[in-house]
Amino acid sequence: MIWLKTLPIVHAQRLNAQYTVLTVEDKDLAAASHPGMFCELRAPNQEGRQFKPISIYGVEGTRLSFFIKSVGFGTDALCALQDGDTLEMMGPLGNKFPVFAGKKALLVSGGVGYPPLAWLKANLPDGTTVIHLHGGASSEDIFDCDISCTMDGSEGHQGLVTDLVLPLIQEHGINLIYSCGPVGMLKKLTELSGDIPHFVSMEAYMACGVGVCHGCVIPVGDGFQRVCKEGAVFDAKLIDWRQL
């Protein structure tokens, strides 16, 4: 089912000047959501504007949360919402991260790629060894993870997450990679991952969010696939990164 709902915000938590976590309550949506899926969200004062795709950050019981970075008019309006305000939403949309038993998994996120991987981490099968490597511009972009990197060195390792990937793969015998973040990071990570299975959650501008407009495609194989429908999670090796 894809629901179109207007729900009250049960909690709007401002993490810092850029990031906000919005929580709503809905048993249908909560039950149908899985790591990797997203919802299309819109603040009530944005009527006539497009919905914005936002990953599901977590489900606890019947509560569903979204972790949003304010980067433009759509996300600014979402981040300004307060407890009790309403949120228009359509979802859950897209596919889910495939999971496998008994793996040594490396999760790599950059910036706003954090939320889908944070939720995935909490949902990997028992017995999975997992390392979550997360990077951002500065300490403001860093949240709970195992290893962090910042460009300005204000927290964790100074530099790019991809600087740390090869040593981590070797040291921990990594045999599965999940990622989400800026295209440059994902491209580099795909090069570094070699033969290791690698699943990536992609971003694209979206209009309809449900596979109708063909606006959100990325180059996959010798054609295009829709991030909202065939994705947002793709096998990184099938994406034609040269075109991105």
Ligand X SMILES: Cc1cc2nc3c(=O)[nH]c(=O)nc-3n(C[C@H](O)[C@H](O)[C@H](O)COP(=O)(O)OP(=O)(O)OC[C@H]3O[C@@H](n4cnc5c(N)ncnc54)[C@H](O)[C@@H]3O)c2cc1C
**Interaction between residue 2 and ligand FES (CB under 6 A):** no
Q: With respect to ligand X, which residue has the nearer C-beta, 188 or 226?
A: 226
**Residue 90 and residue 1 in contact, taking contact as beta carbons nearer than 8 Å:** no
Partner from ligand FMN, another protein, ligand FES, none binding residue 170, C-beta < 5-8 Å depending on class: none
**Interaction between residue 203 and ligand X (CB under 6 A):** yes
**Residue 181 and residue 108 in contact, taking contact as beta carbons nearer than 8 Å:** yes
Closest separation in Å from C-beta 86 to ligand X: 18
Of 195-214, binders to another protein (CB under 8 A) are 204-214
Partner from another protein, ligand X, ligand FMN, none binding residue 238, C-beta < 5-8 Å depending on class: none
DSSP track, 31-92: HH--TT-EEEEE-GGGTTSPPEEEE--EEETTEEEEEEE--SHHHHHHHT--TT-EEEEEEE
Closest separation in Å from C-beta 50 to another protein: 5
Closest separation in Å from C-beta 56 to ligand X: 8
Residue from 2, 31, 71, 213 that binds ligand X (CB under 6 A)? 71
Residue 19, CB half-sphere, CA atoms under 13 Å: how many? 19
Stretch near ligand FES under the rule CB under 6 A, chosen from 44-52, 145-153, 194-202, 205-213? 205-213
Contacts of 237 (CB under 8 A, 6+ apart): 190, 198
